[in-house]
Amino acid sequence: MHDILEKSGFNPDANYKVVGTSPIKHDGYDKVTGRAKFSADAFAPGMLVGKVLRSPHPHAIVKSIDTSKAEKLPGVKAVITREDFPEKKAGTGAGDMTRIAMAREKVYWEGHPVAAVAATSERIAKKALKLIEVDYEVLPFVIDEVEAMQPGAPILHDYLRTKGATGADADKPTNIVERSVLKQGDIEKGFAEADVVIERSFDSKPMHQGYIELQSCIANTSDDGQVDLWCCTQAPWVYRDRLTAIMDIDSSKIKIQQSELGGGFGGKTTFYIEPLAVALSRKAKAAVKMTMTRAEVLKGTGPVSGTHAKIKIGAKKDGTIVAAQSELSFQTGPYTGSAFVNAQQAIWTRYDIANVETLCYEVVSNRPKVASFRAPCVPQIIFGAEAVITELAQAIGMDELDFRLKNAVAKGHTTIYGQKFDEIGLIETIEAAKNCDHYKSPVPEGQGRGIACGFWFNRGGETTGTMSLAPDGTVNIILGTADVAGSRMSMAMMAAEEFGIPVDRVRATLADTNALGFNRVTAGSRTTFSSGMVVVNNARQIIGELCSRAAKMWKVPEEGVIFEDGFCRPASSNVGDFEPMSMKEISSKTTYTMGAISAHSEMNVTGAGPGFAVHIVDTEVDKETGFVAVKRYTIVEDAGKMISPIQVEGQLQGAAVQAIGWALNEEYIYGADGRLQNAGFLDYRMPVASDVPMIDTVIVEVPNPKHPYGLRGVGEVPLTPGPAAIGNAIANAIGVRPTSLPMSPPKLLALMKSAKA
Amino acid sequence: MSKKYHVSLTVNGDEYECLAEPQMTLLDVLRDELKLTGTKEGCATGDCGACSVMVDGRLTCSCLVLAPEAEGRSVETIEGMAKDGELHPLQQKFLEMNGLQCGICTPGILVAAKALLDRKPDADEMEIRYWLAGNLCRCTGYDKIIRAVMAAGEEMKGA
Amino acid sequence: MPDLRFEAPGSLADAVKLLVAAEGPARVLAGGTDVVVQMEMDMIEPALLVDIKRIPDMGRIVQEEGGFRIGAAASGMEICEHEALCAAWPGIIDGVKLIGSVQVKGRATITGNLCNASPGADSVPPMVTAGALAHVVGPNGERDVPVEQIPTSPGKTSLGKGELIESFKLPARPKNSGDAYMRFTPRTEMDIAVVGVAVNLTLDEAGVCTAARVALGAVAPTVLLVPECADALIGTKVDDAALAKLAAAASAACQPIDDKRGTKEFRIEGTGVLARRVAQKAYERARANA
């Protein structure tokens, strides 16, 4: 256990010189001049182009694949199918991963890869795909998870049995992966105490992470089996270990270098084309570059879980919530991995409710496998939860924020999943929302205002990193986490603060998998927190080493040297009369003092501070068309302490607009044929600049005592209450409650009509 | 072997030549033939604006221009925006005001915003929002982008 | 799969010759914002592309007989920047402005918008209500065709092999007349019309509508010119009663489908709503054009 995890050294009275400022991020310069190297911006000598053949069917047995004609096409250097991957037992982790990468017995969604080609040009590769003959036996399919749960629904996996099922059906094939209950108290007794009970059903459709950078990679497999992989990823080590798991290649022979990441939001925590590129490269004996098209990204990579939710909640007249019961179902695509437990745990984790029962189902269906997205599974469930919270407050006649405040959790609260909260900022956040200009301003005529409150755990986990001092006294950081939107800069800032030097004298770079030990995925809003812990720990080690070297050079005991603002100084005049020695003076003489100065830390980081946010949204609804205009949006959120305020604001603003997209228009639309109808940016409607207003932020700082700089993750919290706040705003604007995401114009128009009828 | 077309064009004032298959786009030429990868591909269907360039002074998605169409044209890309070693005011404001997060949409947005400010440095918020509606950004929520464009316009007006 | 051949002829006659001689599917390339996208999406595999932008005068926008002549290759942005055209035919400009982003309009033409034969094309309804004529050139000579007769069904046109549109003729704008176009889309920009309505009307000095044309987009296989809608307006001051009648006639004329962009119900109802709004706007413009 590292001391820093126990005693972070957080000092609430410290005055920072670098932390809390907003300098230009170092990686920004190459990004504004077009020189930054994203995944598709690389080229390798002798490089081939790889393309994927995908299933046109949502569910079919792959009887045979004939690649002979494609192989004979001039310029084709390799064709791969399931035969090129080792058999891994279906229903295991590796078995699922290999089948997602390349179909084996069956195809499970439209867009499921069945073969891939490497050729000397893209045109030839595409021509070759058309020459591959696949014999499918088309099967009945099921897209919606509620339909997939019904008796008689087409079964995806004969071997699947519901985890947690009891009774007569427990040993029958099913599409329900898991049935899970999380409860506390006595739900019946709780509702018996309630004066007001609200009960409603909600649903949501999958949306896509929507990163603008298409997945692209270059794989080179040497003749002795060494793999060199360049790709955009939030999880280089995880990609490596999964390649090992599905391709039986030693991890030591795989080196993954992450490119600049052109957006991920969770969607680049799992691989798609990368194992195919490795297999093609191995077969073709050449480097292979693969780049997905936008249609492939939408059809082939993870959207989020679509859900259904039945929620019942009760409160006393005095505003105390006494019971909350819900039944939630989650689409996961053809294989498990929706991370629904996040929603099960987070659905009410803002409120102290004595009696809670949350039943969850994870269900397979013929859709692409879901992937992580900012607070996986949580925003679409909070959409319903915060709707009924608002309705309860309205039914009781309490101010919505006062109602939330009355039930708010505080330090010392133990959650339903057993975490005891240390310092948290929910109460401060709600109070700041009450005091902000937006909340205090009257709702403009013709508009509706919505409020919602969100939560995310924030994560820690396995993190590694090194730091070294150059002879000129400047500092280099090597990070194991990915930089999803500016963390290299935050790391440099924390290091600069530790050393008391300008941030320009520190640079952070992203490691390849050979440079450091294992790092967990860059997800869960863990990066600035976890890598920050590693960076501060490394800086403190180096400072200790600087003092030790200075002591040697001065020939005084180590305790006699202190470090301040980039200089070693005698601790007192008793130590001796020495001129302060700079980092440069010490590091330029390391030849004479035991060699170069560097540090490394390997941690399983704990102590992440949970985050809370309140969103306030004003909307105007065209009552004749159902068109929703978001007129004003304010996010109030506890960031712990901000390292770079301008970057924190950016995280919040970006999340708000993703929430607007999810709330209003983004969805996967399937035809009766089980094929995705809107696999492009024209009809997959992400918000454009003219769709949204400026996003105001009010940032509360309740420091996390477990971090040396008091920070909390801010990547996910700001998405969690977004769709709910917009839903509440629409409900207040039109006088009827929308319960289905996205709240698109046809749905709202029908809702308004049915309310009138 | 399909016929290739000889394409000679000017990019940021420099002359280039290449051989291109007719279904290749100007975007493919810039990125794969000329290795000017600052122009990004986000959709290849004209819906995201990441590939925005100027063709003969007109803001265009380079993914919608076929390579042979570019014959004799003058193209300006993000690589030509900084002049004489000085960042353009837009580039500078995007840096100072955090108008970028991941940076993948940034070149396209800078090229598009410059096309607007060159015509109208005092464009207001809504004009900028509608002008940039063809440039998707998924990270920033557009707020800091719009503010940075307004600030750059302010500076260009004064210059 | 035939290999693609690209040609950029220097004259109309050469373009026609190429198209006539084409073996396999041939496409005229103007802005390319549909053709290139459809190639990218593997929806079409042309054997020949004939780029008409190198033909002299194909990009012209000139005044002619009190109206305008717009060359087939004039881009959306060039059309939107033409002040006299904007003043005379603001409804057409409403439509052209909605054809994609600034980037797309930098390339896209109204010719392509028409010949792509999508019922949701934004410039088509106002071109129809304007009474625009397409000047068609082909192996058998030249002819002028009302624009509503060009698309015949989604993706199909009445143009014969070797025929292409050389230009459009817009009539003179009468006094006391005005036009407008609006569409409904879930986003403010970058979308395809779920419904679109264009109205072009002429008033007398007292403000009574003497002539009207109303066209509906995205609610049938082709853009519909609906005389019943015009009848609802003619002889009225475009008052509430007339607008209600117009909305009902517009909704009644719809033969929409359910698709990813909208439901039947939504399209039928939305067309009525938009028809009212568009007629009001056209009326205001006509009043201002005294």
How do residues C177-235 score in pLDDT, each as one tens digit?
Answer: 999 999 999 999 999 999 999 999 999 999 999 999 999 999 999 999 999 999 999 99
Answer with the one of A605, A639, A671 that is the final residue of a domain.
Answer: A605
Per the CB < 8 A criterion, the answer to whether A447 and A564 are in contact is no
Assembly ipTM: 0.98
Cα B28 from chain centroid (whole Å): 14
Contacts of B141 in chain A (CB under 8 A): 650, 653-658, 692, 695
A651 shares its domain with A667: yes
pLDDT, mean over chain A: 97
C91 shares its domain with C9: no
CA distance A560 to A404: 54
Answer with the one of C170, C187, C208 that is the final residue of a domain.
Answer: C170
A750 shares its domain with A616: yes
Asked if B63 is an interface residue toward chain C (Cβ–Cβ < 8 A), one would say yes
Q: What's the mean pLDDT in A38-58?
A: 98
CA distances from A688 to A42, A382, A587, A718, B138 (A): 29, 25, 51, 19, 9
State the total domains in chain A: 2
CA distances from C225 to A544, C120, C126, C198, C249 (A): 83, 14, 10, 9, 12
Of C49, C51, C103, which is closest to B60 when you measure between CB atoms? C103
Per the CB < 8 A criterion, the answer to whether A535 and A495 are in contact is yes
Q: What is the pLDDT of residues A453-490, one digit of tens each?
A: 999 999 999 999 999 999 999 999 999 999 998 999 99
Q: What is the pLDDT of residues A315-332, one digit of tens each?
A: 999 999 999 999 999 999
- CB contact under 8 Å between A746 and C187, yes or no, is no
A572 shares its domain with A583: yes
Q: What is the pLDDT of residues A344-362, one digit of tens each?
A: 999 999 999 999 999 999 9
Scanning C21-80 for CB atoms below 8 A from B yields 29, 31-33, 36-37, 39-41, 49, 51, 53, 75, 77
Residue A87: inside a domain: no
- What is the fold of B89-158? DNA polymerase; domain 1 (1.10.150)
Neighbours of C10 (CB within 10 A): 10
Residue C215: inside a domain: yes
The one-letter amino acid at B19: L
C101 shares its domain with C158: yes
Tell me if the domain spanning B5-80 has CATH number 3.10.20.30: yes
Contacts of C265 in chain A (CB under 8 A): 746, 750
CA distance A257 to C9: 48
Q: What is the pLDDT of residues A419-434, one digit of tens each?
A: 999 999 999 999 999 9
A748 shares its domain with A653: yes
Contacts of A555 (CB under 8 A, 6+ apart): none
Q: Give the chain C residue nearest A126 (alpha carbons).
A: C42
Question: How sure is the predictor about C262, in pLDDT bands with cuts at 50, 70 and 90?
Answer: confident
Lowest mean pLDDT among A173-182, B76-85, C257-266: C257-266
What CATH number is given to the structural domain containing A583? Answer: 3.30.365.10
With CA atoms as reference, report the closest residue to B27 among C43, C32, A229. C32
pLDDT for the residue numbered C259: 87
Element (H, E) at A203: strand A196-204
Of A664, A683, A750, which is closest to C260 when you measure between CB atoms? A683
Question: How sure is the predictor about C260, in pLDDT bands with cuts at 50, 70 and 90?
Answer: confident
A708 shares its domain with A590: no
Asked if C144 is an interface residue toward chain B (Cβ–Cβ < 8 A), one would say no
C75 shares its domain with C151: yes
A582 shares its domain with A719: no
Residue C157: inside a domain: yes
C191 shares its domain with C260: yes
Contacts of C78 (CB under 8 A, 6+ apart): C59, C61
Chain C: nearest CA to A271, how far in angstroms? 24
Neighbours of A459 (CB within 10 A): 19
Tokens linked to A728: 């509440």
| Tokens 């915060």 -> residue | A386
Contacts of A264 (CB under 8 A, 6+ apart): A209, A211, A232, A233, A234, A482, A484, A522, B102
Q: What is the largest CA-CA distance in chain B?
A: 56
- CB contact under 8 Å between C41 and B45, yes or no, is yes
- CB contact under 8 Å between B61 and C102, yes or no, is no
For β-strands A254-258 and A227-231, DSSP reports them as parallel
A581 shares its domain with A469: yes
Residue C237: inside a domain: yes
CA distances from A445 to A58, A349, A556, C119 (A): 48, 34, 75, 37
A541 shares its domain with A552: yes
Chain C: nearest CA to B159, how far in angstroms? 26
Contacts of A626 in chain C (CB under 8 A): 266
Phi/psi at A227 (5° precision): -115, 130
Asked if B39 is an interface residue toward chain A (Cβ–Cβ < 8 A), one would say yes
Query: How far is the first Cα of chain B from the last one, in angstroms, to the nearest whole number?
Result: 53
Asked if C252 is an interface residue toward chain B (Cβ–Cβ < 8 A), one would say no
Contacts of A561 (CB under 8 A, 6+ apart): A547, A548, A550, A551, A554, A568, A569, A570, A571, A575
CA distances from A359 to A336, A341, A345, A352, A715 (A): 17, 10, 11, 19, 27
Evaluate the CA torsion angle A270, A276, A277, A282 in order and state its sign: positive
Chain B: nearest CA to C255, how far in angstroms? 29
- CB contact under 8 Å between C101 and B63, yes or no, is no
Chain A: nearest CA to B90, how far in angstroms? 9
Answer with the one of C105, C139, C170 that is the final residue of a domain.
Answer: C170
Q: What is the pLDDT of residues A681-710, one digit of tens each?
A: 999 999 999 999 999 999 999 999 999 999
- Burial (CB count <10 Å: 0-12, 13-18, 19+), residue C145: middle
pLDDT for the residue numbered B71: 97
Q: Show the domain range for C36.
A: 5-51
Edge-to-edge strand order for the sheet containing C61-64?
C61-64, C67-71, C164-170, C133-138, C141-146
Q: Give the bridge partners for C281, in sequence order.
A: none
C149 shares its domain with C248: no
Asked if A747 is an interface residue toward chain C (Cβ–Cβ < 8 A), one would say no
Evaluate the CA torsion angle A648, A651, A655, A656 in order and state its sign: positive
Per the CB < 8 A criterion, the answer to whether A58 and A366 are in contact is yes
Q: What is the pLDDT along chain B (159 residues), one digit of tens a residue?
A: 578 999 999 999 999 999 999 999 999 999 999 999 999 999 999 999 999 999 999 999 999 999 999 999 999 999 999 999 999 999 999 999 999 999 999 999 999 999 999 999 999 999 999 999 999 999 999 999 999 999 999 999 886
Q: What's the mean pLDDT in A650-657?
A: 98
Chain C: nearest CA to A747, how far in angstroms? 9
Answer with the one of A605, A621, A641 that is the final residue of a domain.
Answer: A605
What CATH number is given to the structural domain containing C255? Answer: 3.30.390.50
Q: What is the DSSP string of chain C?
A: -PPPEEE--SSHHHHHHHHHH--S-EEEESS-TTHHHHHHTTS---SEEEE-TTSTTTT-EEEETTEEEEETT-BHHHHHT-HHHHHH-HHHHHHHHTSS-HHHHTT-BHHHHHHTT-TT-TTHHHHHHHT-EEEEEETTEEEEEEGGGSEEETTEESPPTT-EEEEEEEPP--TTEEEEEEEE-SSSSS---SEEEEEEEEE-TTS-EEEEEEEEESSSSSPEE-HHHHHHHTTS-S-HHHHHHHHHHHHHH-----BTTB-HHHHHHHHHHHHHHHHHHHHHHHHH--
Tokens linked to A631: 């007129």
3-state helix, strand, coil in chain B (%, to 5): 40, 20, 40
Element (H, E) at A59: none
State the total domains in chain C: 3
C43 shares its domain with C28: yes
pLDDT for the residue numbered C119: 95
Q: What's the mean pLDDT in A53-66?
A: 98
Contacts of A505 (CB under 8 A, 6+ apart): A473, A474, A475, A496
Residue A257: inside a domain: no
Q: What is the DSSP string of A296-353?
A: HHHHHS-BPPPEEEEEEEEE-TTS-EEEEEEEEEEE-TTSS---THHHHHHSSTTB--
Which of C39, C97, C103, C104 to substitute to test the interface with B, most B CBs within 10 Å? C103
pLDDT > 70? residue C2: no
Chain C: nearest CA to A656, how far in angstroms? 16
Three-class secondary structure of residue A84 per DSSP: helix
- CB contact under 8 Å between C40 and B49, yes or no, is no
A646 shares its domain with A546: no
Question: How sure is the predictor about A412, in pLDDT bands with cuts at 50, 70 and 90?
Answer: very high
Lowest mean pLDDT among A547-551, A592-596, A738-742: A592-596
Question: How sure is the predictor about C3, in pLDDT bands with cuts at 50, 70 and 90?
Answer: confident
pLDDT for the residue numbered A594: 86
Asked if B96 is an interface residue toward chain A (Cβ–Cβ < 8 A), one would say yes
C88 shares its domain with C189: no
Chain C: nearest CA to A205, how far in angstroms? 14
Residue C79: inside a domain: yes
Q: Show the domain range for A16.
A: 3-36+460-605
Asked if C259 is an interface residue toward chain A (Cβ–Cβ < 8 A), one would say yes
Ramachandran assignment for A745, one of left (phi > 0), alpha (psi -120 to 50 degrees), beta (any other): alpha
pLDDT > 70? residue A518: yes
pLDDT for the residue numbered B1: 53
Answer with the one of A564, A585, A605 that is the final residue of a domain.
Answer: A605
Residue C270: inside a domain: yes
Asked if A746 is an interface residue toward chain C (Cβ–Cβ < 8 A), one would say yes
CA dihedral A540, A541, A542, A547 (to 10 degrees): 90
What CATH number is given to the structural domain containing C143? Answer: 3.30.465.10
pLDDT for the residue numbered A1: 66
Evaluate the CA torsion angle C127, C131, C135, C136 in order and state its sign: positive
Per the CB < 8 A criterion, the answer to whether B2 and B34 are in contact is no
